[in-house]
Amino acid sequence: MYAFSIMQYLSHTLPALIRGKTALIRVDFNVENQEESFRLRASLPTFKFLIAANVKIVIISHRGRPRSLRDQKKLSLRSVRLFLERNLGRPVRFISKIGDDTRRKIDAAAPKSIFLIENLRFDPGEETNDPAFAKKLALLGDFFINDAFSVSHRANASVTGLPGLLPSVAGLLLEKELLGLNDFKKNHDDRLVIILGGAKASDKIGVLTHFLARAHRILLGGVPANTFLKASGFDIGTSIVETSMLPATKKLLREKNIVLPVDFVWQSGKMFDVGPRTIAAYQKEIADAKTIFWNGPLGYFERDKFRIGSAAIAKAIVKSEAFSVVGGGETTQLMHALGLTKRVGFLSTGGGAMLEYLSGKTLPGLAALEKTKKLR
């Protein structure tokens, strides 16, 4: 855990160190539906902590992957302002472009003022990790907080550049993520069942191979299952498959603990969900598990009629006595829609970052935070 984290200083030292200062805080507001967003709500505790410590807050985030001016309209962060105002009970000033006078405006504002900067990815320097862009951002705060675990796998200017320029700490959400995921890492030798689905196979292969020797069962659904099924010679019709992953999956077909669905819900030649026999088999594995990790729905869950498999898995997980970790944008959205978020052992805001962290990779954003200067 980070030596300078907010948690460690929560009671006394940190509030004294930061009182009256301006916090530049990187969060992950990369969400589609604001009202239902688990990510937005998860970011609130750190803001509340900073307000209580009399700190000015400058919020930075990306949203989506803007590639054109048209994208910029859709992916503005302007609308998140209302969510923040409603939930923090304070006005939030939106800054659409960082200018020469932005820092002056921040300095002139009263303590506890909140500023929200427009989508960082509207500037190409964010994703190219341009040091000049990181410097421009660093001018906006006296110290930096990374509270964006879910983007800490990206070597972007606001993630890896800022900790080198400002004294930095981990935010409450980032710490919570590490505590939850580290708990899972510690527990996993105990009859571990991993469930992997979703729209891609390539992002799951790291976790799958990392845990292969230790997992009791790895239950597949969605595109990962389709890809394995195709590699095994099963006729998947025109179902979505990740062709580039076929050679890697072929090599794994003999692994006894990888379990594939045995029946499906078909429509127009495509498999859209797992069938009742698969659901029953997966429910049994989940009931016998001691530790569970789930990422990615088992079918096209956006349509009610194809979410039966995923909903059954979600319910089986909360019913089981196992320690469970559930993560990923679509999976948390589903848990939210089913009203089950509070009944999971740990719900992660991370998608790709969580998968990489659990695969044993070093996340650049976390590595940068470990090397940062101390707050004084």
Q: Which residues are catalytic?
A: 39, 200, 329, 352
When binding is defined by CB under 6 A, the residue of 19, 48, 65, 214 that contacts ligand 3PG is: 65
Residue nearest to ligand 3PG (CB): 30
Question: Shortest distance, CB of residue 29 to ligand 3PG, whole angstroms?
Answer: 8
Question: Shortest distance, CB of residue 353 to ligand 3PG, whole angstroms?
Answer: 6
- By beta-carbon proximity to ligand 3PG, the closer residue of 163 and 365 is 365
- By beta-carbon proximity to ligand 3PG, the closer residue of 197 and 309 is 197
Rg for the chain (alpha carbons), in Å?
A: 22
Q: Say whether residue 151 binds ligand 3PG (CB under 6 A).
A: yes
Q: Which of residues 4-43 bind ligand 3PG (CB under 6 A)?
A: 28, 30
DSSP assignments along 198-219, one per residue: SS-STTTHHHHHHHTTT-SEEE
Q: Say whether residue 351 binds ligand 3PG (CB under 6 A).
A: yes
Q: Say whether residue 188 binds ligand 3PG (CB under 6 A).
A: no
- By beta-carbon proximity to ligand 3PG, the closer residue of 261 and 328 is 328
Taking phi over 0 as left and psi of -120 to 50 as alpha, with beta for the rest, 191 belongs to left
Question: Shortest distance, CB of residue 294 to ligand 3PG, whole angstroms?
Answer: 16
Q: CA 1, CA 268: separation in Å to the nearest integer?
A: 51
Count of residues engaged in binding ligand 3PG, rule: CB under 6 A: 9
- Asked if residues 151 and 365 have their Cβ atoms less than 8 Å apart, the reply is yes
Alpha helices (H) in the chain, listed in sequence order: 6-9, 13-18, 38-42, 44-52, 69-74, 80-88, 102-108, 124-127, 131-138, 172-187, 205-211, 222-231, 246-252, 276-288, 308-319, 329-337, 352-358, 364-370
- By beta-carbon proximity to ligand 3PG, the closer residue of 203 and 273 is 203
Distances (CA, A) of 301 to 19, 230, 304, 314, 335: 46, 21, 6, 12, 11
Q: Say whether residue 150 binds ligand 3PG (CB under 6 A).
A: yes
- Asked if residues 307 and 334 have their Cβ atoms less than 8 Å apart, the reply is yes
- By beta-carbon proximity to ligand 3PG, the closer residue of 261 and 350 is 350
Q: Say whether residue 331 binds ligand 3PG (CB under 6 A).
A: no
Interface ranges with ligand 3PG (CB under 6 A)? 28, 30, 65, 150-151, 154, 329, 351-352
